[in-house]
Every structure is written in C-alpha cells, then in structure tokens.
Amino acid sequence: MKAGPMSMAELEEQSETLPREFYERDTAQVSRDLLGKILVHGRVAGVIVETEAYVGGDDLASHSARGMTPRTKVIFGPPGHAYVYFIYGMYECLNLVAEPEGTPGCVLIRALDPICGISTMFRRRPTARKEQDLASGPGKLTLAMGITRAQNGRDVTRGSLVVRKWKLETPVEIHVTKRIGITKCADLPLRFVRKEKDVEFFG
C-alpha cells in the first residue's frame, strides 16, 4: 500500500502492530520485509523505505562482532526490541533486533516516508526544507521521530514505539546494494531500498 499523509486514527484503523514472530527470523529477510511497514513513535509515523541488515557472526561491520558487551547485549536478547546507539557525537541510530534470542542480528532503519505528525517532524528538524528531507537518513529520522537512546531496549511489539503493517498490503519492489559508510564486510549485499525510491537515493 502506498500512503500519503494521514491522521493517526486513520493509520491505526488501516494497520496492525507486527508480532514478535515477525522479527524471530533471518536478519536479512526481516530487513527486506520491513520495507513498506510503518514505524510509529507516539503521534508521528513514517513508512520504512530503506534498511540495512547486520547479521552478526562473521559480519565484522556488526556491533555484535566483538561479542556481548553492556552496549550490545540488546542485540543478543529477544527479537522485536530497539537497539539505539550514538554516532559521530551527534546522531542516534535506530535498529530493530532480529533472530531468535541468543543469536545476534539487527536491522538499521535508514529512511522513512513521513505520513503522520509531519508538522511535529518539521519542528524537530527545522533545517529540513521539504517532507522528503525529514527522515531521509538514519540520524535524520530519529530526530524527526523523537527517538533517542532512552528507547534503547524498548519492546517494539507494544507501547509507544512500534512497527505496524498495512491490513491491505501490496508487494514492494526492492533494490539491493552494498551497505553505506562502512569499511568492514563492505561488499555484502545487505542494504535494501524500496524500488520507487531509486531516483531519490541513486539518481
């Protein structure tokens, strides 16, 4: 389903929260399947249009590659939880934990199409000149959505930070590329972009 701006009441009527079983699967598959789903935090929401999978194990770009630490223990925990970390001394990034408990894997949410609470997003991101700029990167979307490290470890199957799916879903065409901004395991094809966003992200 392709959505334009709508009220939160309309969104809640037309969608439902993803269950934990959705996340308890292969990380790359979860990353692909999150495209077209709706990230909701409080009264703001956006359709997920770009993700990256970090699969653990031999994936040296993953934070879990060094094993479990106080910072990364969320990644090894139950699926369907948020892993939020701070980068470059200024941005926070949202990941969603995948795989069965004990197996590390998470999905970085890289970009959204805003659909609810757009005026709130503009207040949070006053430098954005148009809607398409509000959440067009991992650091931008957390600012627009009001997501911080306070949400680290949050269960995204209930509460104020959740991911929803349309009750009437349509297939999503996917563009697969290498991940962005990493040096380790940089050739793995683990970045997924909704096809109709190709012009915006690649053109």
Could you give all domains of the chain from N- to C-terminal order, each with its CATH number? 8-202 (3.10.300.10)
Res 202: pLDDT: 39
Start-to-end Cα distance in the chain: 24
Can you give the pTM of this predicted structure?
0.93
Q: How many angstroms from the chain centroid is the CA of residue 99?
A: 15
The 10s digit of each residue's pLDDT in 93-151 is: 999 999 999 999 999 999 999 999 999 999 999 999 999 999 999 999 999 999 999 99
Phi/psi of residue 189, nearest 5 degrees: -80, 75
Most confident of 2-6, 58-62, 80-84, 196-200: 80-84
Res 4: pLDDT: 76
Nearest Cα neighbor of 107 from 118, 96, 99, 93 is 96
Nearest Cα neighbor of 158 from 103, 81, 78 is 81
